[in-house]
Structure 1
Amino acid sequence: MRKRLPAGTYLFILAVITGTAYFINLGYNDIWNPNEGFYADAVRHLLQNNNLLDFFFNNEYRFNKPPVTYWVIALSCRLFGLSEFSIRLPIVLLALGTCFFTGSISGMLFGKKTALWSGLVMAVSFQFLINTRYAAPEIPLTFFFTLTMYFFVRFIVYRKPFALWSAWISLGVTMLVKGYPYLIIITAIMASYAFFSTGRNFRNFVHELKQYRILTGIVISLLIGMSWPFYSWIKFGNDFLHVLDTETTYRAFRYQADWFRDLFFFPLVMLWGFLPYSLVFIPVAIASAARADYRRELLFPFVWGAIILMVFTIARFKLPTYFIQAHPAMAVVTGWYLGQSRFSFGFERWIKRLGIFLPGMVFIMVFLAAMSLLNTGHYYLLLLLLPASSLILSYRNSDKRWILGTFPLTALVALFLLFTASVLPSLEKVRPYKEIGAAIRSRSDGKNSYVYLENRFLHNLPYYSRQKTAAISSGALQKISVQVPYFLLAEEKDTMAVAQGSTLWKGIVYKKNSEAAFFPFLLSYYHYLHGDSSGFRKYRLLMVFPGKNILPQGYPERE
């Protein structure tokens, strides 16, 4: 009899391929606008100043986020040098760690059979996957959030005190990634789980909370999580408190009129953000919630996801990235289903059609469209052997159901490999930020100056130029009062009237400040490839020499 590839071995091979894909061309792209620019420049200042507590962006204090994201990036840059790769490396490592702990949670709750599935589902959840490509707090937050949940699950399964105290310490670190609201969210998950797991009996509920050492744990988490905010308040006073209020209280409670649309914001985010398995998770979650035995079995991931959904639906300010912290819980539920057959044949048939084949075919069509429209090499068609292997092996293998479930995963990994290997590197043709920064540094001779940008602000330019950067209107180009040589990045048509300037660089720049809305940027690039450059503007970088070369008041000092 011919030997067949075990499903577990195939899943492990896919895990290795997916993990490797995270690293492909990781440092190739310039720093992305706007969010990555904040962290790149802040870490540059941190290393330059040897100050782990005070953060700067564009030569100004930055209070907007707690320190852990800066610290992990700074550690990487200290070890490997300041570069795009070392800035993004800790994000990828924390992403892989998140997948590992997601699988570990699934393994503790449901056994080893589901652990690899849950980790893989987490690794390819669409919104999580795309956030691994740039430095921002979302992945560190998801890692420490998941780490907290991992230690909490270890405690409720094994009742080991070390796991409990590790959970409270991890919660404190989570607060140092994104702020004190996560103390409320995670303690709400713990308390809700205690309430439902004790049969909603108040006396048993109180006893369970005592087992969690909840008051002592909250104190430990507060001591860790509020240490940096307390330091910043002592040092900077109301300046810090104003930013803290804007970043937390205002976002949570500011008035928004369209409450009906807000109600469906995160369910829609769940639908596209958890692809390719959202169309598996949603019907499985609904069907499982309708059965008492499955509700009990899936209680912890259900409570985890439900609390995040409720909290951020109530909060007034909404971003899709807020829901990434629910993805590990959703991956655990999805892995539980994919690892073991639990439903009727009719239900399974519809899941196979709607949740497995449909997303897989959609991603293959997107793959082919991207190849055709963005002029990638035809040899990238070989990547489609990945989803093809899933279909072929499922047909020829006794573990048919297990391997068939990998079809949407392999289709998305093939698409991700196409983007990391070809599409994202090709975008650098219209992203000249490093080149602009190098031109500025080559003429600044290590001295501080100013960089003025006409009608816009590029958040990665302070990092690349090593200079104070400011936006200026077109009408003010002739009114710049700086009396030392400065740099001006302006539209080519507007630089003709600037006297006493020498051209350092000229080329095209994306006309919008943000590349975070990636699809419009990609669409502009597609049009550019086909002769329509309306999504970009022709810019010229000048070094301007005023008449008097004296140091004006307010000239930035070197740090």
Structure 2
Amino acid sequence: MRLKKQFWLMLLLTIVTIFVNLGSIPLLDPDEPVYGETPKEMIQYNDYLSPRIYGEFWYDKPPMYYWLVAGAYKLLGIVELAARLPSAVLAVLCVATVCYFTTKLFDSRTGILSGLVLATSLEFFYLAKAAVTDITLTLFLTLTLLCFLNRHYHLFYFFSGLATLTKGPIGLLFPGAIVILWLIFTRRLQEIRHMKILPGIIIWSLVTLPWYGAMAYIHGLDFVNGFIGINNIARFATPEHVETAGWYFFIPVLLIGFFPWSAVLIPAVIKAFKARNSDLFSTVSFLSIWVAFIFLFFTLSSTKLVTYILPIFPALAILVGWYINSCRDEDSTGYRLVWPITLTVLVLLLLGAMAKGLFLFPEVVGGLTALAVVLGIMVIAVWWFVYRGKPAKAVWGQAGAMVMVSFILFSVILPPLADNFHSRGLAQAFTGVYDGKSPVYVIKFLHPGFAFYTNMYGKELKPDAELKQFVASAEKGYLIIQEFDYQLLSDLEKERLDILTQLHGKMIVLKK
């Protein structure tokens, strides 16, 4: 009964962490408005097959998240809450999935601890509150891999298909590679005979081929080259963002994104390596390969984004939950103290960054102070419980603190800063100065948010040669631009532009 109560408490904390203030902040540039605008155009054009943006077909992602958001729009209207609702709901389902399967693989207590770890990891709950595809992909990949581990082979292929409809080929590549590597590592290649491969191919094809086949038939090489060539192969081979192309990029991303549980990663990994002679070796090795393969895949990829490694978080959460639960049986207090010591170092580094933030954003001094207090209490609680040999209580204390961190971030700190990161105010200002007939040009970074909040597409400009060509042309037009890009123009180019509105680092200018 006590564990059942803990499960419902864990689920309640998850829901509170993710759903508080879910729709109160406008969609943040540039990614969220993309996933808000495309389903809006699906409804506008009554076309749920071919994704569009700015009225043009585009092949950046498969349609799964667009379909989910379009359904939420039908239910709630075209509002921020609806754009983010699928991520939030699926994140709760992901936590419940991890808890359920971990209970089957280990025990109930490990399942609950793993769910708490996942739900209160910084990057996980942040993306759960965002209108992006990463939580959807993470859920389907998690279901795929955990169904395999529990020998639910038909469901393994089904959820792999849904992952492929969410993010493309990696929905098949990741599970396939992880499973094969694990079978080789554990010398179980004979298991392939029991994996129902032929029915699995049929199931996967029934899920994926209707959409992929229809798109290839209707759009031909434009779809094949755009989706496979540009948005998959080219992104892997060529960096979109040179500043994030370093091989080490995902190391700090993992430490920050998995905070505060990154403090437990080292002892959890060490214990995983020592599990070779354990009855749990099969499960632990599978989870370890899951983490290692995806982490190394994106490390080798030329294009790197902070969100890419989110699919390893469920496996890490299970490993950390398993490690913490096993701490009850450890004799060495010193071994357990790695957790609070590492947590203290991470929090001190974070407090240093927050101190710098006070100078940059003095309007959030109250929120940052409250955040510092909560983090300090969290460190003290973890020290107290771990030293007294009660690691499970340390988990609850740390998880409870992160629920408060989420509330402070999204209710106190982010709202006064949000105007710097969205285009809703700019769109409202534009409607007051636009003459209703002249062409409108929008810098690429601001284009999705401008389109979402004005219902006007405009023409996209890249902030380099395209911008300069427009300024040098004889055409009159309105230009939506970031102040940073405006300042890079020459004085002669600026003379051709009249500033109509300047708002939170964004500008509306009229080219004479």
TM over 0.5: yes
CA distance in 1, matches of 2:173, 2:445: 38
1:480-516 deviation per Cα after TM superposition (whole angstroms, max 9, x unaligned): 547xxx64436799787569xxx9x623243xxxxxx
How far residue 132 of structure 1 moved from its aligned partner, in angstroms, is 2.3
**Matching residue of 1:143:** 139
**Matching residue of 1:250:** 234
TM-score, normalised by the number of residues in structure 2: 0.82
CA distance in 2, matches of 1:277, 1:392: 14
Change (3 A) 1:216 1:14: closer
CA distance in 2, matches of 1:177, 1:432: 25
**Matching residue of 2:363:** 375
1:374-404 deviation per Cα after TM superposition (whole angstroms, max 9, x unaligned): 4347488667468748856985898732112
What does 1:7-406 correspond to in 2, within 5 Å? 13=9, 16-155=12-151, 163-197=152-186, 200=187, 205-206=189-190, 208-244=191-227, 245-254=229-238, 264-294=248-278, 295-341=281-327, 342-345=329-332, 347-359=334-346, 374-376=362-364, 378=366, 384=373, 388=377, 391=380, 400-406=390-396
How far residue 88 of structure 1 moved from its aligned partner, in angstroms, is 0.7
Segment drifting more, 175-184 vs 403-412: 403-412
Structure 2: runs of 5 or more not aligned = none
The higher radius of gyration belongs to 1
1:312-332 deviation per Cα after TM superposition (whole angstroms, max 9, x unaligned): 344443333221111111110
SS, match of residue 375 in structure 1: helix
For residue 416 of structure 1, the aligned residue among 402, 406, 413 is: 406
CA distance in 1, matches of 2:222, 2:452: 24
1:540 is the counterpart of 2:511: no
More helix by share: 2
**Matching residue of 1:508:** 503
CA distance in 1, matches of 2:355, 2:446: 35
- Give the AA of the match of 1:540: I
SS, match of residue 248 in structure 1: helix
Tell me, yes or no, if the aligned pair for 1:128 and 1:324 is still in contact at 8 Å.
yes
User: How many residue pairs align between the two structures?
Assistant: 488
1:50-107 deviation per Cα after TM superposition (whole angstroms, max 9, x unaligned): 2111111112111110000101111111100001111011111111111111122211
Tell me, yes or no, if the aligned pair for 1:65 and 1:177 is still in contact at 8 Å.
yes
Segment drifting more, 268-277 vs 434-443: 434-443
Change (3 A) 1:316 1:352: closer
CA distance in 2, matches of 1:386, 1:9: 26
CA distance in 2, matches of 1:149, 1:326: 11
Change (3 A) 1:396 1:255: closer
1:489 is the counterpart of 2:480: yes
Change (3 A) 1:265 1:473: closer
SS, match of residue 239 in structure 1: helix
How far residue 310 of structure 1 moved from its aligned partner, in angstroms, is 3.8
For residue 470 of structure 2, the aligned residue among 472, 476, 485 is: 476
Tell me, yes or no, if the aligned pair for 2:501 and 2:508 is still in contact at 8 Å.
yes
CA distance in 1, matches of 2:358, 2:4: 32
CA distance in 2, matches of 1:381, 1:455: 36
Identity %: 23
TM-score, normalised by the number of residues in structure 1: 0.76
Change (3 A) 1:215 1:265: farther
CA distance in 2, matches of 1:66, 1:224: 13
How far residue 40 of structure 1 moved from its aligned partner, in angstroms, is 1.5
**Matching residue of 1:553:** none
CA distance in 2, matches of 1:84, 1:339: 39
**Matching residue of 1:3:** none
Q: RMSD across aligned C-alpha pairs, in angstroms? A: 3.7
SS, match of residue 408 in structure 2: helix
How far residue 468 of structure 1 moved from its aligned partner, in angstroms, is 2.4
How far residue 42 of structure 1 moved from its aligned partner, in angstroms, is 0.8
1:275-302 deviation per Cα after TM superposition (whole angstroms, max 9, x unaligned): 2112312332133313423434512212
CA distance in 2, matches of 1:489, 1:31: 17
How far residue 369 of structure 1 moved from its aligned partner, in angstroms, is 7.0
1:179-221 deviation per Cα after TM superposition (whole angstroms, max 9, x unaligned): 1232121022223334445xx15xxx22x11211124313421
CA distance in 1, matches of 2:8, 2:355: 27
Structure 1: runs of 5 or more not aligned = 1-5, 156-162, 511-536, 547-559
Change (3 A) 1:380 1:431: closer
CA distance in 2, matches of 1:222, 1:60: 28
Tell me, yes or no, if the aligned pair for 2:29 and 2:422 is still in contact at 8 Å.
no
Segment drifting more, 113-122 vs 403-412: 403-412
CA distance in 1, matches of 2:428, 2:497: 22
- Give the AA of the match of 2:339: K
How far residue 118 of structure 1 moved from its aligned partner, in angstroms, is 0.6
1:152-173 deviation per Cα after TM superposition (whole angstroms, max 9, x unaligned): 2332xxxxxxx32122111101
- Give the AA of the match of 2:265: F
Change (3 A) 1:456 1:253: closer
- Give the AA of the match of 1:317: T
Tell me, yes or no, if the aligned pair for 1:450 and 1:487 is still in contact at 8 Å.
yes
1:405-443 deviation per Cα after TM superposition (whole angstroms, max 9, x unaligned): 345444443332221011211024445622332355578
Tell me, yes or no, if the aligned pair for 2:385 and 2:394 is still in contact at 8 Å.
no
SS, match of residue 134 in structure 1: coil
Change (3 A) 1:456 1:211: closer
CA distance in 2, matches of 1:185, 1:226: 18
